[in-house]
A and B are shown apart, each in its own frame.
Chain A
Amino acid sequence: AQKITQTQPGMFVQEKEAVTLDCTYDTSDPSYGLFWYKQPSSGEMIFLIYQGSYDQQNATEGRYSLNFQKARKSANLVISASQLGDSAMYFCAMREVMTTDSWGKLQFGAGTQVVVTP
């Protein structure tokens, strides 16, 4: 069953504007972590931001912030003041409680392609 859902296959955003990328997740574990990664066309996966299930405050890292709504099981990424270099594929991922079976592995959503225009 799909555990991470990203409903936006692609988005255009104008430079200097903010953009919100949607991510919903499904888990029955009380302890989990949510991650956002950026993948430019070159292929590398760049870690952006992390939110733990017990964190009281929404995570922020520079221009990235995570709108964590636990009851709704959503973890949307907000990119403020978009730059041309933000054009990339963005993946939401979840890590459930680490057990001997899971080893803390990540499950990824389908991704959202963001194109920033001048």
Chain B
Amino acid sequence: GAVVSQHPSWVICKSGTSVKIECRSLDFQATTMFWYRQFPKQSLMLMATSNEGSKATYEQGVEKDKFLINHASLTLSTLTVTSAHPEDSSFYICSARPGSNQPQHFGDGTRLSIL
């Protein structure tokens, strides 16, 4: 149980392209999902908290216009990297938890490479 699916797992695209990453909770509903970014050999950095039916809460220093988050349903949150540039290349990973006292379960991550 508590499976989180993330798609795509790997994407390469040209600079200036917008890229959408999907995060789905497959067997539970999640009013809150989290988006992280991870650089090689580093820890996970929380980018934003995605709230179903309302605006996402962004961490300090994260550009909300650059990283658009939509949480339109209880099982789906999307992260769109708008007008991506090489410095946006990174590993993006989402998480969700089945209940407030449950651990967060993570998607498999998306490796984004911008050329």
Nearest to A92 among chain B residues (CB) is: B43
Q: Mask for A73-111, Cβ within 8 A of B = 1, else 0?
A: 000000000000000000100000010010111111111
Bound form: Cα–Cα A111–B44 in Å:
9
Q: Does A50 contact B (CB under 8 A)?
A: yes
B97 contacts A104, C-beta separation under 8 Å? yes
In the complex, identify which listed stretch (B12-20, B21-29, B80-88, B98-106) lies at the interface while the others stay far away. Answer: B98-106
B44 contacts A103, C-beta separation under 8 Å? no
Q: Does A44 contact B (CB under 8 A)?
A: yes
Nearest to B32 among chain A residues (CB) is: A103
B108 contacts A103, C-beta separation under 8 Å? no
Q: Mask for B14-58, Cβ within 8 A of A = 1, else 0?
A: 000000000000000000101000000011101001010000010
Residues of B within 8 A of A35 (CB): 103-104
Q: Does B7 contact A (CB under 8 A)?
A: no
Nearest to B9 among chain A residues (CB) is: A43
Contacts known (A103-B51, A105-B34); A111 close to B43, Cβ less than 8 A? yes
A91 contacts B32, C-beta separation under 8 Å? no
Say which size band chain A's interface belongs to.
20 to 34
Say which size band chain B's interface belongs to.
20 to 34
Residues of B within 8 A of A98 (CB): 100
Other-chain contact of A110, B43, B46, B49, B109 (Cβ < 8 Å): B43
Nearest to A37 among chain B residues (CB) is: B106
Most buried by A among B43, B46, B108: B43
A–B pairs, 12, beta carbons within 8 Å = A35-B103, A35-B104, A42-B108, A43-B91, A43-B111, A44-B107, A45-B44, A46-B106, A47-B103, A91-B44, A107-B46, A109-B43
Bound form: Cα–Cα A44–B100 in Å:
22
Q: Mask for A40-55, Cβ within 8 A of B = 1, else 0?
A: 0011111100100000
Residues of A within 8 A of B34 (CB): 105-106
Most buried by B among A50, A103, A111: A103
Q: Does B95 contact A (CB under 8 A)?
A: yes
Contacts known (A110-B43, A111-B43); A104 close to B105, Cβ less than 8 A? no
Most buried by B among A37, A43, A101, A109: A43
Bound form: Cα–Cα A103–B42 in Å:
24
